[in-house]
């Protein structure tokens, strides 16, 4: 972390040698709230990870190191089924949202002037998920549609579409308009121009949007809570019932694995955006 | 159809908005989907809020204003008020904690800035139920915080921390703090450094520079952060249940109970609509204030 303070202090030293020591002290003290904030953010996670290696049924007493909860986790049918359900729902919702969101973003950027359609397309990301969840529950029940993974896919696709639209719209703003004009001047229709010229340029945004839709869908609890059948719970719903009706130490192991997956995903996404960022 | 396209063609190059049927293949599928699965369901809730509940759940199509009148019973007004207070306290704490964090990150070198931001976002990407559960481990009577406090001799008997309103505040603050830091960081980072330099060159102390330059210019980001925290904090029903013990009921819990326990869908719908209307009002006020702020700073 030494690097953090180096650039500002050297700059200040050049500007005003006398104030350098004070500047160093200031630079460090400014980081104090940041470290406190990180402590707040990471302490609970750290506790969970440590306790996942605890050789005890008791959640609060450390009895020595053990990996026993990890195999038990994978042997737990409820959790594994929940994981499978989650992946099906997330994949389905992401597929729908990626197609619809990309088309929407393109249509909005190209053909609309006012923000009304844009606001409508982004609305599901802002609406309380509670409202969307019970609205869809009410709607599905009116249609006498049996709840299951299919209803969860449709429900998740609603908010996922909004996120894909938002991200692709952001990407749209940074692409070169003249290429499309050239394509049109050479006689390509709007659909062909879109497929051959625009889509490849939008690809990084679409991938980022799909990735976000997928991760959000995996984590989504409230909407799934209202739109999935109790017999086909997604992983967050399984976790919810585990936490609600007496926690088992398996949750710690599950949490640690999910944390690891999140870290890998975030770093991968970071790399991806950095790679695509250089093509701009 | 060809004639409209032909007529549109010459004009198409200059303005960005083109007419005719060209937008249809792009806009129609998504709009259709969102109308069916967002607008109609939400509209349905608004519709149901004017009807009676069925004996075993569902709706009886007899017009009534009862659901809207029922809102004004002290019990429900109390819950709504309590939710506003809790969400407000969480938002203020998030601002107090998040501002220095965002300020510190904005002052880092670009390389460390990325690391610091990822570190802010990372907890956010772990399942929120698990993050809530982590607080059970910490706040329980036999939990870590009590163990530490006892170990250090600060307290003799464990303090009941779990299942209190304070636990709800801590849980919500923990959950939504990153949503405060990110927009704040964005507005602080956009700040033109030359403005601060100018203030310093004109003899302003660091504190005065902060108060008269940095703080006002970061207010739009602060407002956005407040909305990002307040809106989900207001409707969250999982944290009040899992670490609040269901004693402090928030609007979200009430809505959930109307749907799954009381089976009073019309009243549940009414409550959810009130919640949404409140949040829309908050967002509209926020955007009006923030527009005035940016205009003011541009003029001044």
Kindly state the average pLDDT of the residues A200-209. 88
Please report which confidence band the pLDDT of residue B13 belongs to, taking 50, 70 and 90 as the band edges.
Answer: very low
pLDDT of residue B148: 83
Residues 162-221, chain B, touching A (beta carbon < 8 A) = 174, 177-178, 181, 206
* Residues B158, B167: Cα–Cα separation, whole Å: 15
Kindly state the average pLDDT of the residues A96-116. 89
pLDDT of residue B292: 85
Measured between beta carbons, the chain B residues lying within 8 angstroms of A3 are 109, 111-112
Q: What are the tens digits of pLDDT across the range B150-191?
A: 888 888 888 888 888 889 999 999 999 999 999 999 988 887
Contact A51 B118 (CB under 8 A): no
Listed residue (B132, B134, B121, B172) closest to A50, CA to CA: B134
Q: Which two tokens stand for residue B194?
A: 């030359």
Question: B300 vs chain A: nearest CA distance in angstroms?
Answer: 28
Are the C-beta atoms of residues A135 and A203 closer than 8 Å to each other? no
Q: How many CB atoms lie within 10 A of CB A98?
A: 22
Contact B137 A47 (CB under 8 A): yes
Please report which confidence band the pLDDT of residue A26 belongs to, taking 50, 70 and 90 as the band edges.
Answer: low
B102 pLDDT above the threshold of 90:
yes
Residues 38-97, chain B, touching A (beta carbon < 8 A) = 38-42, 44-45, 48, 58, 97
* Residues B77, B72: Cα–Cα separation, whole Å: 6
Q: Which of A30, A129, A136 sits opposite B41 (nearest CB)?
A: A136
Instruction: List the single best residue of A138, A163, A188, A222 to mutate versus B (max B Cβ within 10 A).
Output: A138
pLDDT of residue B154: 82
Contact B30 A121 (CB under 8 A): yes
* CB neighbour list of residue B211: distance below 8 Å, 6 or more residues apart: none
Are the C-beta atoms of residues A135 and B42 closer than 8 Å to each other? yes
A101 pLDDT above the threshold of 90:
yes
Residues 191-250, chain A, touching B (beta carbon < 8 A) = 191, 194, 215, 219, 221-222, 226, 235-236, 239-240, 243-244, 247
pLDDT of residue A274: 66
Instruction: List the single best residue of A32, A38, A41 to mutate versus B (max B Cβ within 10 A).
Output: A41
Contact B25 A219 (CB under 8 A): no
* Residues B51, A134: Cα–Cα separation, whole Å: 16
Contact A112 B119 (CB under 8 A): no
The pLDDT mean for chain B works out to 85
pLDDT of residue A1: 36
The pLDDT mean for chain A works out to 83
Measured between beta carbons, the chain A residues lying within 8 angstroms of B138 are 43-44, 47
pTM, two decimals, is 0.83
Please report which confidence band the pLDDT of residue A252 belongs to, taking 50, 70 and 90 as the band edges.
Answer: confident
Report the residue of chain A nearest B129, measured CA to CA.
A240
Q: What are the tens digits of pLDDT across the range A137-157?
A: 999 999 999 999 999 999 999
A163 pLDDT above the threshold of 90:
yes
Question: B60 vs chain A: nearest CA distance in angstroms?
Answer: 12
Report the residue of chain A nearest B130, measured CA to CA.
A255
Q: What are the tens digits of pLDDT across the range B115-153?
A: 898 889 888 877 888 888 889 888 888 788 888 888 888
How far is residue B228 from each of residues A45, B7, B71, B202, B222, measured CA to CA in Å? 23, 46, 26, 36, 10
With H, G, I as helix, E, B as strand and everything else as coil, classify residue A148. coil
pLDDT of residue B207: 82
pLDDT of residue B275: 93
Listed residue (B212, B256, B210, B251) closest to B234, CA to CA: B251
Contact B144 A3 (CB under 8 A): no
Q: Flag whether residue A51 sits within 8 Å of chain B, measured between CB atoms.
A: yes
Contact A142 B44 (CB under 8 A): yes
Please report the DSSP string for B227-274 in residue order: HHHHHHHHH--HHHHHTTTTTS--HHHHHHHHHHTS--HHHHHHHHHH
Measured between beta carbons, the chain A residues lying within 8 angstroms of B23 are 107, 110-112
pLDDT of residue A273: 66
Contact A222 B129 (CB under 8 A): no
Which has the minimum average pLDDT: A251-265, B217-231, B284-298?
B284-298
Q: What are the tens digits of pLDDT across the range B221-245?
A: 899 999 999 999 999 999 999 988 8
Beta strands in chain A (DSSP E): none
How far is residue A223 from each of residues A220, B43, B215, B236, B238, measured CA to CA in Å? 7, 17, 38, 12, 12
Helix, strand, coil percent values for chain A (each to nearest 5): 80, 0, 20
Whose tokens are 């390509």? That residue is A188
Please give the share of chain B, as a percent, with pLDDT higher than 90: 41
């Amino acid at each position: 972390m030494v690097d953090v303070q180096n650039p500002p202090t050297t700059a200040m030293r050049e500007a005003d040698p006398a104030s350098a020591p004070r500047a160093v002290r200031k630079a460090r003290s400014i980081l104090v709230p940041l470290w406190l904030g990180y402590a707040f953010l990471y302490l609970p996670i750290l506790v969970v990870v440590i306790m996942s290696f605890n050789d005890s049924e008791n959640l609060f007493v450390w009895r020595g190191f053990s990996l026993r909860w990890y195999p038990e986790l994978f042997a737990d049918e409820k959790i594994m089924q929940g994981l499978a359900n989650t992946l099906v729902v997330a994949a389905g919702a992401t597929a729908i949202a990626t197609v619809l969101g990309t088309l929407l973003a393109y249509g909005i950027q190209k053909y609309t002037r006012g923000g009304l359609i844009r606001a409508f397309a982004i609305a599901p990301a802002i609406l309380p998920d509670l409202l969307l969840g019970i609205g869809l529950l009410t709607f599905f029940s009116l249609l006498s549609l049996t709840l299951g993974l299919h209803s969860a896919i449709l429900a998740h696709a609603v908010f996922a579409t909004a996120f894909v639209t938002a991200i692709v719209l952001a990407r749209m703003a940074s692409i070169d308009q003249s290429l499309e004009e050239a394509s049109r001047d050479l006689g390509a229709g709007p659909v062909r121009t879109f497929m051959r010229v625009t889509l490849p340029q939008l690809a990084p945004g679409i991938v980022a949007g799909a990735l976000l839709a997928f991760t959000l869908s995996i984590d989504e609890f409230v909407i799934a809570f209202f739109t999935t059948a109790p017999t086909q719970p997604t992983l967050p719903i399984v976790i919810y019932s585990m936490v609600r009706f007496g926690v088992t130490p398996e949750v710690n192991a599950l949490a640690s694995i999910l944390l690891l997956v999140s870290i890998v995903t975030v770093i991968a996404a970071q790399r991806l955006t950095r790679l695509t960022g250089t093509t701009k | 159809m060809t004639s409209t396209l032909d007529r549109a063609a010459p004009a198409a190059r200059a303005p960005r908005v083109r007419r005719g049927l060209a937008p249809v293949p792009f806009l129609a599928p998504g709009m259709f989907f969102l109308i069916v699965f967002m607008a109609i369901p939400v509209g349905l809730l608004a519709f149901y809020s004017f009807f009676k509940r069925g004996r075993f759940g569902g709706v009886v199509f007899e017009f009534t204003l009862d659901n809207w009148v029922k809102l004004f019973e002290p019990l429900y007004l109390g819950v709504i008020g309590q939710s506003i207070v809790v969400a407000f306290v969480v938002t203020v704490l998030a601002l107090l904690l998040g501002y220095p964090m965002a300020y510190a990150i904005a002052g880092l070198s670009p390389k460390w800035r990325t690391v610091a931001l990822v570190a802010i976002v990372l907890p956010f990407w772990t399942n929120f139920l698990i993050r809530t559960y982590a607080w059970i481990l910490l706040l329980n009577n036999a939990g870590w915080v009590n163990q530490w406090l006892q170990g250090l001799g600060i307290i003799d008997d464990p303090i009941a921390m779990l299942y209190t309103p304070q636990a709800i505040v801590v849980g919500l603050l923990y959950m939504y703090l990153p949503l405060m830091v990110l927009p704040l960081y964005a507005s602080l980072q956009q700040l033109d450094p030359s403005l601060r330099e100018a203030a310093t060159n004109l003899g302003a102390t660091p504190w005065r520079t902060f108060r008269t330059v940095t703080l006002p210019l970061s207010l739009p980001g602060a407002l956005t952060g407040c909305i990002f925290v307040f809106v989900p904090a207001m409707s969250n029903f999982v944290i009040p249940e899992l670490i609040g013990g269901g004693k402090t009921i928030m609007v979200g819990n009430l809505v959930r109970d109307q749907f799954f326990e009381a089976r009073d869908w019309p009243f549940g719908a009414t409550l959810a609509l009130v919640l949404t209307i409140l949040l829309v009002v908050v967002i509209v006020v926020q955007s009006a204030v923030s527009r005035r702020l940016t205009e003011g700073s541009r003029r001044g």
